[in-house]
Amino acid sequence: MNMKNNNIELYDTTLRDGTQQEGISLSVQDKLLITKRLDDFGVHYIEGGWPGSNPKDAEFFAQAKKLSLKNSQLAAFSSTRRSNTQVEKDINMQTLLEAETPVVTLVGKSWDLHVTEVLETTLKENLLMISDSVSFLEKRGRKVVFDAEHFFDGYKANKEYALECLLAAQDSGVSCLTLCDTNGGTLPNEIGEIVSEIRSKTKCQIGIHTHNDTETAVASSLVALYSGATQIQGTVNGYGERCGNANLLTIIGNLQLKLGIKVIDPHQIELLSDLSNFVSEIANLPHNQYQPYVGKSAFVHKAGLHASAVSKVRHSYQHIEPNDVGNSTRVVISELAGRSNIREKLKEIGLKASTEIEKTLIETIKNKENIGFQYDGAEASFEMLFHKSQSQYKQPFEIIDFLLVAEKNRRTNDLDDANLISEVTVKVKVGEKVMHTAASGNGPVNALDAALRKGLIEFFPSLTQIKLTDYKVRVIDQGGGSDATVRVLVESTDGKETWRTVGCSPNIIEASRQALVDSLEWWLIKNK
């Protein structure tokens, strides 16, 4: 392996390639915020977008001129000049200059199929498009990166021409030749072989840009580095078109923690998880909890054997120390749990149980999960199992009974759903006093929640702080028809903390009642 410390460059393309993912749309302010965070983190290049493609990117580059970047160089992206157009008059070249970035990245065709069938021009004209564009920008003081689009497909189809495209860019003053696996279909072994061949036939720095259509983008990027590439393009969280791009965060973790190659400041690696969460929050996407290094589940232990081993020797089932990347070890509770899971989970929340209670909890959890409960996503309900296992435990309240009515408004013939009324009456006991209340809602669960709170507020005024933020229902025995068992997961918050509880029953209202009661009871116990 011919890689030395500090000679690998990180090129982030989240703000362009990443935004091509379905469901992502970043505002100018979003892009500026991500740019600042990437600069603080220490990536070498940040590709801001294509200034000539849309008003948003043009505005971003206008605003980005005011940024004082400490670690990163900003790059503007565009294509080579148009076919049969003078480079000085090409609109793409003009917008690149107007962006005033120190780096420009040009994408050009390197697959003869694309030249003749997509661009509908000649192979010779494409070479001139590449050389004219690179030379034009290089002479005006720009550092030029050439993204050889579809390079690996092109090289396999026509080696001589694909290499000619690279040499045209190299001879015109390009700084880096980036080999792009645009379709994401080239496997790592082919990537390595081709990068090695290109390394031996060119003089420029070689970069790699892979897509994840075969789920090998990170592996292909690392193989390219082993084979002579020294610049690696990718996106935060692997965002990108179709199946995404190479995940730059995973690559950073592998380079710095596995290979000992310093690509960012050693102190910054601890912010890897923060960066991942920050960008997913800005992109308004759920964070991928199964993502290597930075995912919430990256260091979760569910099997009893695993939890037992980790409690004794931390690295026995963890390939790194989670704190190194700003993550943490978690033990979750399920029917696979052993006493170590129970002990570690209770330790996390500041509780301790006797051996007998641990055995009781394990048996209870296994039995409940067998009928449909699930505790690895409802840790507040697990904690309630612990409290209820204590002989001295006293419930803060008890639902004696409740009655639910759902009907169409009889005062109108309109069958619209807005006229469906849900009303619940509930008897709830606190101490020796019984409250009999009623409430309506836009659905039976909402009405039950409102009626229950109404009956408890007199005794526990602080319950007004709690809000239900999420409600999920899953059918457990699919194919069981309308009488199938369902699992209800409720997420609640008091504005400071968020917790989840679970209920399970063939009756969705009963399952909801279980989860709601656990939620309120857990909060009352925690807040005494």
What pLDDT does 225 receive? 96
- For 385-413, give the secondary structure using H, E and C: HHHHHCCCCCCCCEEEEEEEEEEECCCCC
Those residues with Cβ within 8 angstroms of residue 392's Cβ, 6 or more apart along the chain or in another chain: none
Q: Quick check: 60 pLDDT over 90?
A: yes
- Residue 10 near residue 265, CB atoms below 8 Å: no
Strand partners, 493: 467, 498
How many helices (H) and strands (E) the chain has is answered by: 17, 16
pLDDT in tens, 405-429: 877 665 555 555 556 788 899 999 9
d(CA 455, CA 518) in angstroms, rounded, equals 16
| CA atoms of 44 and 470, how far apart (whole Å) | 40
Query: Which amino acid appears at position 437 of this protein?
Result: T
Tell me the residue type at 353.
A
Q: How far apart are CA 443 and CA 296, in angstroms?
A: 33
- Sign of CA pseudo-dihedral 266, 267, 271, 275: negative
Please tell me the distance from the alpha carbon of residue 325 to that of residue 321, in angstroms, as a whole number.
8
For residue 386, what are the contacts with CB-CB under 8 A and spacing of at least 6?
346, 351, 353, 357, 361
How is the chain split among helix, strand and coil, in percent rounded to 5?
Answer: 45, 20, 35
Of 18, 76, 22, nearest to 249 by C-alpha is: 18
Over range 8-34, report the average pLDDT: 96
- H or E, element range at 196: helix 188-201
Take residue 165 and report the two structure tokens written for it: 């495209």
Show Cβ contacts of residue 394 under 8 Å, excluding neighbours closer than 6 positions.
none
pLDDT-derived band at 307, boundaries 50, 70, 90: very low
Residue 38 has pLDDT above 60, yes or no: yes
Question: Looking at residues 122-137, what average pLDDT do you find?
Answer: 98
* Contact indicator for 511, 488 with CB cutoff of 8 Å: yes
Angle formed by the axes of helices 188-201 and 159-171, nearest 10°: 50
Rg (CA), the chain: 30
Backbone angles phi, psi at 423, to 5 degrees: -135, 140
Q: Is the pLDDT of residue 478 over 90?
A: no
Q: How far is CA 221 from the centre of its chain?
A: 20
Please say if the pLDDT value at position 335 is more than 80.
Answer: no
Asked if residue 453 has pLDDT above 80, the reply is: yes
Strand segments (E) across 226-305: 231-234, 300-301
Distances (CA, A) of 175 to 107, 144, 231: 14, 5, 11
pLDDT band at 59 (very low <50, low <70, confident <90, very high): very high
Q: What is the pLDDT of residues 339-392, one digit of tens each?
A: 566 776 677 777 777 788 778 887 887 788 778 887 777 889 988 988 888 888
Global model pTM greater than 0.75: no
pLDDT recorded at residue 193 = 98
pLDDT at residue number 209: 98
Output the six-digit token pair for 515.
């989860």
**Average pLDDT over the chain, rounded to an integer:** 88
